[in-house]
Structure 1
């Protein structure tokens, strides 16, 4: 069930128009600046609450992807009591040299937490690295899935995408505003 009030509020706060180059290299005329809602505690809390029913029951760790997934994963962790894991874009080259900060992932079910997914590049990279470290990664929950409707951009790595909001829902909210 779509929380139309959340869609309207998120859209009003974080939709930017112009010309934006995405991580994938694609150029878009619309950009959802997740930091604008993540910096507002009430909106961040509502997004995290929207993720609770999307989490697989067998989740053992919440893997927040650097940078935008970290505050969301931390908030979801506080609500569920599930330990959080902070997943870097690449392993540190000093100290512990870890890709993922937090508990050991080997043999554990990690649900990834991301802010916005378009092509899923960062999620795909993190999934491969976590699986190489022994994690079981099958689901990513995200605040916004801006990929084309009825398309799973992460099917090639066997990940199910579970969004709180989709681009279509945000577009519908914008049209009603």
Structure 2
């Protein structure tokens, strides 16, 4: 259901050109009528507001019942930082965050992560943009497991595309949840995007998106 809060978030993404409507081809070769690029968040005001959306979702879901936030390089880094700031300023939850390097550093403090150093027993939540095929999440899980006996109970993302994954009848998010036992929480999903487009877009684009959803999506 497209609530006012979800509509507000979609309008925010559109105003930042993070969400665009049209005709696009995803990395997996699928034709889609919308595209999400969180790399388009470029101002302090945008990051502050984005952090508030993520922090609100984290606070409502787990409160302070976790030990650290992980932002996968590269796009997850500013997301985790913005969320950490907003959790403190808006909810008085002060939690550390960390992120990974694409290449392991062999000098200075060294290692493959920057910021908080996770330890055995930590409950880490992942702050990410979208999950399409689940590849990035699997890479993150491998990296986190190399840090110690760490659990990842929750993953927070902007958009659930609801696209089928590697297993027929299962979305990539379903596969991630079953494989790692982590619950994925999106701010909006593909149905919300479609409902917004139907209210504000042209009929031809809506019709094309219906075809995309019928072909590639498993709807909630």
Q: Same fold (TM over 0.5)?
A: yes
The equivalent residue for 1:121 is: 135
Aligned to 2:77: 70
Contact 2:50 2:82 in 1 (8 A): no
What's the CA shift string for 1:106-140, capped at 9, x where partnerless?
A: 22211111012212210121012202321221211
Identify the structure with bigger relative contact order (alpha carbons < 8 Å, sequence gap 6+).
1
Q: Which residue number in structure 1 is paired with residue 38 of structure 2?
A: 34
* 8 Å Cα contact 1:68/1:115 also seen in 2: yes
Aligned residue pairs, count: 173
CA contact (8 A) 2:51 2:84 kept: no
Query: In the alignment, what sits opposite 1:141?
Result: 156
Is residue 6 of structure 1 aligned with residue 19 of structure 2?
Answer: no
Report if the CA contact (8 A) 1:8-1:173 is conserved: no
1:93: Cα distance to partner?
Answer: 5.3
Q: Distance in 1 between matches of 2:143 and 2:54?
A: 24
Q: Choose the corresponding residue for 1:112, options 122, 126, 131.
A: 126
1:91 shift after superposition? 4.5
- Asked whether the equivalents of residues 119 and 154 of structure 1 are also in contact (C-alpha less than 8 Å), the reply is no
* Larger Cα-atom Rg: 2
Match of 1:49 among 49, 52, 67: 52
Give me the CA root mean square deviation: 2.4
Please state which structure has a larger fraction of its residues in helix.
2
Within-5 A mapping of 1:6-25: 6-11=9-14, 13-16=17-20, 17-22=22-27, 25=28
Alignment gaps of 5+ in structure 1: none
